[in-house]
Structure 1
């Protein structure tokens, strides 16, 4: 396939997704929620923290890219709500309200916010869909919009458990071990944007 065909096909696929019926978009949101749940099962537990390394953040970052702010955000709301209600698809095949109230609950809230933010930029600024600009956008979403509520939730959980964490311990348990993997996921998601999203 020559580059003109590639660009044309990319734009056609993007426009078909954008112009799809509400029912189709709802189905795509549900499928993205399922993809997030599947990626959440790829985990590396760490002995010093209740927060494991997972691959689900990649799905979260891609949800806003592929579905936009409204339906990307909806996909993560579905992921959280269905996980609380009856599908054990959080990390390690867990589910229920206790996960939302536990050590990783703040990160789940951050997923919804980050997906909306990435989708909003993707929707409004076509020229931001290149690799460099989108890597910056996704980096902000990942390290600010996911980690701020995530670390806040971890701090509240530890205080409620009777062992409040200092700022250094909080960062060592909830941020530092994940930075390298997150950079890989950010670059991967930026590559998805570069490859699959039209720039006009």
Structure 2
């Protein structure tokens, strides 16, 4: 149990660091309010490789650290960022990682996913699109509208439409990673759970 706990802490810290690094890779085009970044791809990887609990914590810990003023979200941090117009997206990310990990766990146990890589790719792509992208827009856009007193059409133009293609590309790459590294993903996910839980996991 102690070994599993240590592994969990290591993976949580590793993917938290990955999220931070990918948050620094951002581009703000045309004076846009929301920068393009790889944050959602980090969410994809966390949900893919980690168990639901660890996936959630790997992102949530970044929010906690940011609350102390560390500039961890595209070079910004502190309460101003965590209550600003992108806060809806930020607080959605841990839950995105959690739901994504739960869905990945289900997919990894599916016989169809094991036997057909095309079906596996499509399934992973859909899951990534739903839980790393679409789900983040659900709280993200209303909060964006609230803080900036912006109408829905304008908010969609500023915080949604320009990012849809990038979201699809990140989900596409994530699906390639998922299909290519499935055995390693299963090994990493099961290495942080206790023996009884492993016995109920269908390995590939």
Q: Name the CA distance, whole Å, in 1 between partners of 2:164 and 2:134.
A: 12
Q: Name the CA distance, whole Å, in 2 between partners of 1:152 and 1:52.
A: 18
> In the alignment, which of 106, 115, 120 is matched to residue 102 of structure 2?
120
1:40 aligns to what? 23
**What root-mean-square deviation, in Å, do the aligned CA atoms of Structure 1 and Structure 2 show?**
1.8
2:85 aligns to what? 103
Cα–Cα, structure 1 residues 20 and 140, in superposed 2: closer, same or farther, change >3 Å? farther
Shift of the alpha carbon at 1:95?
A: 1.1
For each residue in 1:9-47, what CA deviation from the matched residue of structure 2 results, as whole angstroms up to 9, or x when unmatched?
xxxxxxxxxx96112211211111111111111111033
Q: Name the CA distance, whole Å, in 2 between partners of 1:143 and 1:122.
A: 15
1:1-200 equivalence runs, <5 A: 21-91=4-74, 93-126=75-108, 127=110, 130-158=120-148, 164-198=149-183, 200=204
For each residue in 1:39-88, what CA deviation from the matched residue of structure 2 results, as whole angstroms up to 9, or x when unmatched?
11111103353111111211111101011211011101111111222432
TM-score, reference length from structure 1: 0.82
Gap regions ≥5 residues in structure 2: 115-119, 184-202
Q: Which runs of 4+ in 1 moved over 4 A?
A: none
Shift of the alpha carbon at 1:153?
A: 1.8
TM-score, reference length from structure 2: 0.80
- Structure 2 counterpart SS, 1:40: helix
Cα–Cα, structure 1 residues 28 and 41, in superposed 2: closer, same or farther, change >3 Å? same
- Structure 2 counterpart SS, 1:125: helix
Shift of the alpha carbon at 1:175?
A: 0.2
Corresponding pairs, count: 176
Cα–Cα, structure 1 residues 25 and 169, in superposed 2: closer, same or farther, change >3 Å? same
Cα–Cα, structure 1 residues 179 and 20, in superposed 2: closer, same or farther, change >3 Å? farther
